[in-house]
Amino acid sequence: MKILVADDEQLARSRIKDLLRELGPDLSTHLVAEVANGEEAVRAAMAEPVDLALLDIHMPKMDGLTAARHLLRLPRAPAVIFLTAHDAHAVAAFELGALDYLLKPVRLERLQVALQRARRLLPEDDTGLLEQGRGAAMWWSTTADGCC
């Protein structure tokens, strides 16, 4: 499952990466793009389609809700999950078609549930394709043999 992470805070991105790394072996998650605002998220997803976008909401240039609107209109639209410190935008997020809405600081178990939900949306073929391409897509450091 190819994942894009958009958050304007570097520490927040580190946190998500740490959690994805922990969940990677079970869920075959692969972080393929890490960006700092909504505009870069849309550009990255257009350049290389992803299966899931994990979006912060308050970001410079383009906020997460606007980015989601663009992402969900792409020919190969990713599932969108919001990861935010604000609880005020949940209704707007689900109205847009978000798959889930997680509050920071997020627990590993809660992110796992959200990722499992996203994974179930993937067609079997797609998952298989991603499984094969996994080695190339995986750029974060895992165990030497690729771990998963």
The residue range among 27-35, 71-79, 100-108, 139-147 that interacts with another protein, by the rule CB under 8 A, is: 100-108
Residue 22, interface with another protein (CB under 8 A)? no
Tell me the H-state helices in 78-123: 90-96, 108-121
- For residue 120, give both structure tokens: 């179930």
Asked if residue 141 binds another protein (CB under 8 A), the reply is no
85 interacts with another protein by CB under 8 A: yes
Work out how close the CB of 32 gets to another protein at its nearest, in angstroms, rounded to a whole number. 21
Q: Is 133 in the site for another protein (CB under 8 A)?
A: no
Nearest to 79 by CA among 103, 55, 59: 55
Element holding 31 (H helix, E strand): strand 30-35
CA distances from 108 to 71, 117, 139 (A): 25, 14, 21
Specify the DSSP element, H or E, that contains 52.
strand 52-55
Selected binder of another protein within 73, 75, 105, 109 (CB under 8 A): 105
Q: Report the interface residues with another protein, using CB under 8 A.
A: 8-12, 14-15, 18, 37, 58, 60-61, 85-86, 103-105
